[in-house]
Structure 1
């Protein structure tokens, strides 16, 4: 019974009402062109649980949007399928990827604090414009999100571990030099080699340290791919 109540609450949010409330907030903030684009697409395209990234009227006036499908693509590109306040976005680390409503597009985050938060090629300049609705948030940005610039919609690919790097060669120990007959019997073999900077012990320590760093690098790459 509790599960049915929770699912009914989640399944029936005031989506259309929240969109209407958000449109009123957009108009009060002078984002009239973005409101016009929302009114051009089918009303069931957005039913709540969304964050809009809104270019200014001036930015949109310089963008060619020739057909209805292009309007839909532009809105999907400028929306995130989750209601996120600006404080939520500030928790995203730099170089993380934020999904948009377009399943083929992800925005690379560059987070330098409240005054410099970039999503792809745009910067959030007017945060938290839409806040009164339950499931719709919106923020003003300083341009139009472009899919032509690098770093916006590139899937994360993980190289194969076998081809990541060639194995390190084993270091051959130096050939032992003949010990003089007068050397004391208590001296360890190759004692001079251990004491000099080019001896066996420093070389083996360097090889061990390098190998451990190499293994850690492969482990870090494999962890990112999981």
Structure 2
């Protein structure tokens, strides 16, 4: 009976650990990839998003290097009120946990739901051609910004909003 209790405890512990890891940026991240992505962001004038990502680079880091970031421009970021405690959550809400070039995204039909970096929220695709492609409320205005690493990123014209159900 003690062995069964020990096994049950171990299973519950591992499940809890896996869930906590899926929601946080706390595992080793290839610094070369993150630095290359930040360089690409800066080269295309996404300084604010690069700065937010770099703020986490020293303390916590994405647990999955296979990411696509959806980056609001500096004007949108400066109009928002992101506190230092909300940076990680903000980045998760603006990420898809798989690397997707715009060509990959364009294959998703309108209405498709893809996971965000926050596993409790989904991003709805609105695909009406290259010049009219939205993720939730935000239009992709600059495709394929990050090309120098596994990380992919696209510029969007707004901070991504989620419905209460998403």
TM-score band, normalised by the shorter chain?
0.7 to 0.9
Q: 1:138 to 1:107 in 2, by over 3 A?
A: same
| Pairing 1:33–2:48 present | yes
The 1-side partners of 2:136 and 2:110 are apart by 11
Task: State the secondary structure of the residue aligned to 1:129.
Answer: coil
Task: State the secondary structure of the residue aligned to 1:123.
Answer: strand
| Pairing 1:56–2:73 present | yes
Q: 1:116, CA displacement in angstroms? A: 0.7
Q: 1:109 to 1:52 in 2, by over 3 A?
A: same
Task: Give RMSD over aligned pairs.
Answer: 1.8
The 1-side partners of 2:77 and 2:125 are apart by 22
The 1-side partners of 2:36 and 2:140 are apart by 21
Cross-structure match for 1:185:
none
Q: Give matches, 1:83-102, under 5 Å.
A: 83-102=99-118
Q: 1:95, CA displacement in angstroms? A: 0.6
Q: 1:44, CA displacement in angstroms? A: 2.3
Task: State the secondary structure of the residue aligned to 1:72.
Answer: helix
If asked which structure has higher relative contact order (CA below 8 Å, sep 6+), I would say 2
Cross-structure match for 1:164:
none
Q: How many residues align?
A: 137
TM-score w.r.t. structure 2 length?
0.77
Residue 130 (structure 1) aligned to one of 146, 154, 164: 146
The 2-side partners of 1:45 and 1:88 are apart by 22
Q: 1:23 to 1:56 in 2, by over 3 A?
A: same
CA-to-aligned-CA distance 1:174-200 (integer Å, 9 cap, x gap): xxxxxxxxxxxxxxxxxxxxxxxxxxx
The 2-side partners of 1:125 and 1:65 are apart by 22
Residue 82 (structure 2) aligned to one of 54, 65, 78: 65
2:114·2:124 contact (CA, 8 Å) conserved in 1? yes
The 2-side partners of 1:96 and 1:105 are apart by 13
Q: 1:16, CA displacement in angstroms? A: 2.2
Q: 1:80, CA displacement in angstroms? A: 0.7
Q: 1:19, CA displacement in angstroms? A: 1.0
Q: Give matches, 1:95-174, under 5 Å.
A: 95-133=111-149, 135-147=150-162, 149=163, 153=166
2:38·2:54 contact (CA, 8 Å) conserved in 1? no
